[in-house]
Structure 1
Amino acid sequence: MNDAIALLTGNTALLAMAGALALQWLLPIPAALHPLGIWRQLALLLADKVNKPQDTPRQQMMSGLLAGSLMIFTVLIILLCLYQLAWFDLPFHIILLWLALDWRTTADFSKQFITAYQHEDKPRCRQLLAEKLNRHTDNLSLLGLGKACAETQLLAYGRLVAGVLFWYGLTGGIGALIYRLLISLARTWSPSRQRYQHFGRPLVTLLAVMDIVPLRLFAVLLSLGHNGKQALQSLAKHGEQWQLPGPGWLLTATGHKLSLSLGGPAIYDNMKMDRPRLGGKIAPAALHLAQIDKLVQTRLWIWIGIQGLLLVLFQGTL
């Protein structure tokens, strides 16, 4: 027993993960005070300087690649230098993982949206989604709002919790924060916006590559249990239909597991984008959104348990 306790208390990676998870639930960072706000403003200022509409698509893509590399590698170098100066590894990685995670905020959004959706409060639903999505929400019907919320729940929990923890397990707090910064950068320069159609593509491609393993593993975890066989079979048939393979697997697995209709056309910058329809035939209602929230959060605790066991077996990566 004493050996087991010593093994757990001596595992810096496991303790840092537990500490960061507890801290982000007990002390969530308000969106207005989160350093990501400054990061997004810097990204917009840099894009204004180097993203020229008169440039060819190839030149815009190269500008986006260089601008993104400049921002990411600058932060990476600063974090590596700070790591060398840190007296204690544990607080350093706890703080970085705390900044990278966004479980509590996503759970609060989900709860607020479900309450508003249940009362068919479309203005409130649109307001909540406008803070999370790049696309227009003003003209979304009740059905469209429900679908948009389901997508937001899945991608937020998948990337900002499962994905962040996955890269933390491989690369420590520095890698987790860099992944979170890349998510924010790809959203700020989203190619779905006409202005960043070519400029943001390199960053979205890089994020898609980093998403493939964690989001697919999480999609498989979501599929297990009730309707598991149907959900797993759907991944091979329909998971690749989405623009990005990682998010596509999440939507497909959940849609088929709960028989929900997800995806479909969306409007970005007043332009209609045809997206595939995934999942079953049932239109998401407030009950289904609550089911998604419960399913994903339950699976996240399983994910944390598995990752914690792996950190113990391999003695972490820190």
Structure 2
Amino acid sequence: MEALFNQLYSNGALLVLWGALLFHLILPFPREAHPAILWHKFAEQLADKVNTHSSYSQSIISGTLALLLMTIPMFALLLALKPLVWQAQLFDLALLLLAIDWRNTDKFTNQFVLAMAREDKEHAKMLLTPIVNRSTHSLSLLGLGKAGTETLIMSYGRNVVGVLFWYALTGGIGAFLYRMTVELGRAWSPSRKRFSPFGIPVIRLVVILDYVPLRLFALMVAVGKRTHEVFALLKLQAGSWPLPGPAWLLVAVGAKQQLSLGGPAIYEGSKAIRSKLGGRIAPSAIHIAQVQRLLAWRMFAWIVLQSAIMGFVYQGI
């Protein structure tokens, strides 16, 4: 037992992982005070300066340069700061704590489920509007259920699973940069006309970063009941969604719970035609709560499995 404890103690990567999860559980960052919000606002201000709606090729170049301008200085700054910290594990802990976020998603989901249960559309829209790019003012209860479910799924997938995946591969700096890149993708999403095609370069980068973790998490979601139906719908529907990582995760959850996801959405007054995913049941309050429980247990399994793999790789536990 003492030898096992010593091995665990000497494995700084695992201690950082568990420490960040524990600290986040006890004292999560309020969404309004999170660095990602400031980062998002700065990205929008930068886009206002350089996104001039010129030709397609010039917009792509502007988007690429803006992406590099946002990420490279931050990467260089983090690399320069790390040697100055007296304990490298504390630096990784701080960055992972800033990158990970499931408590704010839990808070949003609990409040959203209550609003949906009361059929309080205005309150549900108020909760949803700050965290999605799509227009919410015209959404019905059905549209709100779909939008809320998709938001819940992608928040857990990116803000927890994706962050933990990139932490395991690249440490705290990689996890933090992943979270900030995803936030850039949301700020410059080309689903809104004013960021098309300016936002395409960052979305392509997000697609690459999401590809493995979200697909692996989708496979974990598929395990258990209705596995055959999940894989059948993945084969049938995933290719119709523009982003491969989110496609697998949305289809897996939708098929698992037989929920209807996707479909048309309105972005800044323009209707975007999106494929329908999942099953046929319109998400209601009880279904959203069920999705939350499903994803929470799958995330717990992910954390246990990742801890075991990291222990074996880093220390041979």
Tell me which interval the TM-score lies in, with the shorter structure as reference length.
over 0.9
- Give the letter aligned to residue 135 of structure 2: H
SS of residue matched to 1:206:
helix
| 1:229-275 per-position Cα deviation (integer Å, ceiling 9, x unaligned) | 21123222222211101111111111111111111000011111110
* SS of match in other structure, 1:243: coil
Distance 1:122 1:193 in 2: 24
Give the structure 1 partner of residue 25 of structure 2. Answer: 25
**Superposed counterparts of 1:225-244, under 5 Å:** 225-244=224-243
Partner of 2:219: 220
| Alignment map for 1:136-151 (pairs within 5 Å) | 136-151=135-150
The yes-or-no answer on 1:295 pairing with 2:317 is no
- CA distance in 1 between counterparts of 2:156 and 2:25 reads 14
For normalisation by structure 2, the TM-score amounts to 0.97
Percent identity reads: 46
Gaps of 5+ in 2: none
C-alpha separation in 1, matches of 2:312 and 2:32: 39
The one-letter code of the counterpart of 2:204 is: T
Counterpart of 1:10 in structure 2 is 10
Please give the root-mean-square deviation of Cα atoms over the aligned residues, in Å: 1.0
Which whole-Å CA distance do the structure 2 matches of 1:232 and 1:163 have between them?
Answer: 22
Cα distance in 2 between the residues matched to 1:40 and 1:207: 15
Within 2, Cα distance between the matches of 1:255 and 1:130? 22
Bigger shift: residues 30-39 or 178-187: 30-39
Matched with 2:76 is 77
Q: Which amino acid aligns with 1:11?
A: N
Distance 1:234 1:169 in 2: 30
Query: For the residues of structure 2 that align with 1:253 and 1:20, how far apart are their CA atoms?
Result: 28
Question: For each residue in 1:75-126, what CA deviation from the matched residue of structure 2 results, as whole angstroms up to 9, or x when unmatched?
Answer: 0000001111111012111110000011100011111100110110100100
Q: CA deviation digits over 1:213-238, x for unaligned, max 9? A: 00000000001111112112322222
Aligned partners of 2:41 and 2:87: how far apart in 1? 31
Deviates more, 1:29-38 or 1:194-203: 29-38
Rounded Cα–Cα distance in structure 1 between residues aligned with 2:88 and 2:216: 29
The size of the alignment, in residue pairs, is 315
Taking the aligned partners of 2:6 and 2:229, their CA distance within structure 1 comes to 43
Write the distance in 2 (CA, Å) between the matches of 1:33 and 1:125: 22
1:241, 1:220 → 2: CA distance?
18
One-letter amino acid of the counterpart of residue 97, structure 1: L
Counterpart position of 2:58: 59
Distance 1:236 1:214 in 2: 18
CA distance in 2, matches of 1:47, 1:29: 27
Q: Secondary structure at the match of 1:239?
A: helix
Partner of 2:314, secondary structure, is coil
The residue that corresponds to 1:167 in the other structure is 166
Q: Which runs of 4+ in 1 moved over 4 A?
A: none
Letter of the 1:293 counterpart: Q
1:115-130 to structure 2, matched below 5 A, reads 115-130=114-129
Distance 2:233 2:14 in 1: 34
Distance of 2:62 and 2:97 partners within structure 1: 31
Aligned-partner residue type, residue 206 of structure 1: L
Per the normalisation by structure 1, the TM-score is 0.97
Q: Which moved more, 1:28-37 or 1:127-136?
A: 28-37
Who is 1:283 aligned against?
Answer: 282
What does 1:267-282 align with in structure 2 at a 5 Å threshold? 267-282=266-281
Tell me which residue corresponds to 2:95.
Answer: 96
Partner residue, 2:50: 50
Match of 2:96, as an amino acid? L
Map 1:177-256 to 2 at 5 A: 177-256=176-255
How far apart are the structure 2 equivalents of 1:34 and 1:59? Answer: 33
Residue aligned with 1:191, SS: coil
TM-superposed CA distance for 1:285, in Å, is: 1.3
Give distance in 2, aligned partners of 1:241 and 1:83: 43
Amino acid in structure 2 at the alignment position of 1:16? V
